[in-house]
Amino acid sequence: MGERISNCIPLIAAGFLLASGCRSISPGSGDSRGRVDNGFSESDIPVEAIAHFATALSYDMDGRSDEASEEYARAALKDPSYEPVVIESARRSIRAGEPDKAISVLEQSATRKEASGTIYSWLGLAYGQSGKVEKSIQANKKAIQKLPRSLAAYQNLSQIYLQNGRTNDVLAVLDQAAKQTLVSPDFLIDLADLNDRFGQTRSLGPELVKRRVIELLDRSSALNSENPIILQRLGDGYANAGEIEKSERAYLGLLERYPGSPIVRSKLADLYLRSANREKAVYQLKELAKANPTNGRTYAILGMLELDGNDITNAVSNLERALVLSPEFENVYYDLARANLGLRKSEEALKVLEKARSRFKDNFVLEFYTGMAYASMEKYADAVRHFLSAEILSKNQEQGSLHLNRQFYFQIGSAYERNGDPEQAAQYFEKCLELSPDFAPALNYLGYMWADLGIQLERARELIEKAVQFEPENPAYLDSLAWVFFKLKQPKEALPHMVKAIEKLEEPEPEFYDHLGDIYDSLGDRKSAIEAWQKSLVISDDPKVRQKLESGRVDSPASR
């Protein structure tokens, strides 16, 4: 307001009012280029109107807004033919929730034959706010007749119809606007936005709305505007409509003209993130980082993408930089902890999590990753403690059940098993399988745990066989299947699975050869058993395996 007022003061001193300088924009702004033709010169303005307007400006500068509004109204009533003042008065009344005051001024101005479409557009808005539906409809129709390439009246009219449940009339108004020719690119984009806005109210079908929006954006694009604002709005509109390629084309066209624009690169990065194009998103984010190396958000997103793409070393570097620049970004701490865990740097992960603990409230993610860190350090009692804390926090938080997924139950089950509590481990593995009955890691883990303990052997076999069905080439699952058959005193059935498991190994595993030796020994093939145990000892010197060789015997399956 201050800038607009200051631009008008010199003209008042000269005895003039400048329409373009003091005109309030919207809901109608002349034709598609924003021109208002009043049909008279400023020298025709009555002196009293000028005096009231000058007083209004003075009150505005003193911050006396209510008194200024009264003076604007008096100026408008003294000369209802001078539309900029009439519109300013109406705008203030409507904004103050006093549409009847606006109507009294606008109606006088609208009695003139030469009254512009902008006056009728504001009058339609005031009638609508006052609840005078039919008058609002008629005023807006008159505005459209006078200014068919100004969107404000179409918007007002369609809004009135929508509020009164007249969906077919809404479509008719939008169609009427869409049929206008020789319109500007921004008119078409504004109309596309209007269609989309009404679509969000669920009054119009989503597919119909999407089709209309894309058609209007295509028409705007075909006008080949070089205006950067138009190109950006096209990119935004296409992105919202899910037209990724067209949105990308608009943004890239803008980037060619303004290669150093961080806004455009940011929009491209967001577009690629939405379309799961990680490689292109990473490229744009790297360019953004070059242009603005102090933006922590850029490094945070870049690090997250690199982490998801298994580029863990670069992820750590960018996430660490993000924390230096923006230590208030909570999720970055957890991403960095996860990255350090991926590099087997458990102590570094714990340091990052302790920093998060000092800044933020305890929450599921913080406790879960702390549990993961302790588990990777083989401190399973600490891991269990933090996993349990995560479970309690999750249940106490809104939407907490979203965190208690199969991965959580699998991890806490693993920690319990390794902490020597198979009963609790089994309960959590069962919860995991309730959520995801086909989750092969849990099927195999629970089955192998029971097989190794020599309990629930038939159920263990069923679980492991199901895991093998999902991943028939997985050597760990094949080893589990061989082992459960061995525990079921079926070494003949165990042997082929054990041999295949060893064949599928990328790196030798001592436990596999230990199992193979036990199976051969159970079959009475002592020579093959000794060879298998010796291979196990070459890989890792296990006292239990050495004892089998030195004792000259192996415990029978029954004793296991």
User: What percent helix, strand, coil does the chain show, rounded to 5?
Assistant: 75, 0, 25
What secondary structure letter does DSSP report for 203? S
> Which residue is associated with the tokens 């390794």?
418
pLDDT in the model for residue 45? 61
Evaluate the CA torsion angle 89, 91, 96, 100 in order and state its sign: positive
Per-residue pLDDT at 198: 79
Round to whole Å and give the CA distance between 429 and 189: 54
Q: Which two tokens mark 129?
A: 């706010």
What is the predicted pLDDT for the residue at 13? 28
Retrieve residue 407's tokens.
Answer: 């991965």
* Residue 104 exposed, middle or buried by CB count within 10 Å (0-12, 13-18, 19+): middle
Closest by CA position to 452, among listed 476, 487, 478: 487
DSSP letter string, 281-339: HHHHHHHHHHH-TT-HHHHHHHHHHHHHTT-HHHHHHHHHHHHHH-TT-HHHHHHHHHH
pTM higher than 0.75 = no
**pLDDT given for residue 62 in this prediction:** 84
Would you kindly state where each structural domain of the chain is located, as residue ranges? 1-147
pLDDT in tens, the chain (560 residues): 333 333 343 333 233 233 323 333 345 444 433 334 444 444 456 777 778 888 878 887 888 888 888 888 888 888 888 888 898 888 999 999 999 999 999 999 999 999 999 999 999 999 999 999 999 999 999 999 999 998 888 988 988 888 888 888 888 999 999 999 999 999 999 999 998 887 777 666 778 889 999 999 999 999 999 899 999 999 999 999 999 999 999 999 999 888 888 899 999 999 999 988 999 999 999 999 998 899 999 999 999 999 999 999 999 999 999 999 999 999 999 999 999 999 999 999 999 999 999 999 999 999 999 999 999 999 999 999 999 999 999 887 655 556 789 999 999 999 999 999 999 999 999 999 999 999 999 999 999 999 999 999 999 999 999 999 999 999 999 999 999 999 999 999 999 999 999 999 999 999 999 999 999 999 999 999 999 999 999 999 999 999 988 876 544 333 33
d(CA 175, CA 215): 12
The CATH superfamily of 1-147 is Tetratricopeptide repeat domain (1.25.40.10)
Q: What pLDDT is stored for residue 320 in this prediction?
A: 97
Q: What pLDDT was estimated at residue 56?
A: 77
pLDDT for res 552:
60
Cα–Cα distance between 94 and 112 in angstroms, integer? 22
Residue 77 is predicted with a pLDDT of 87
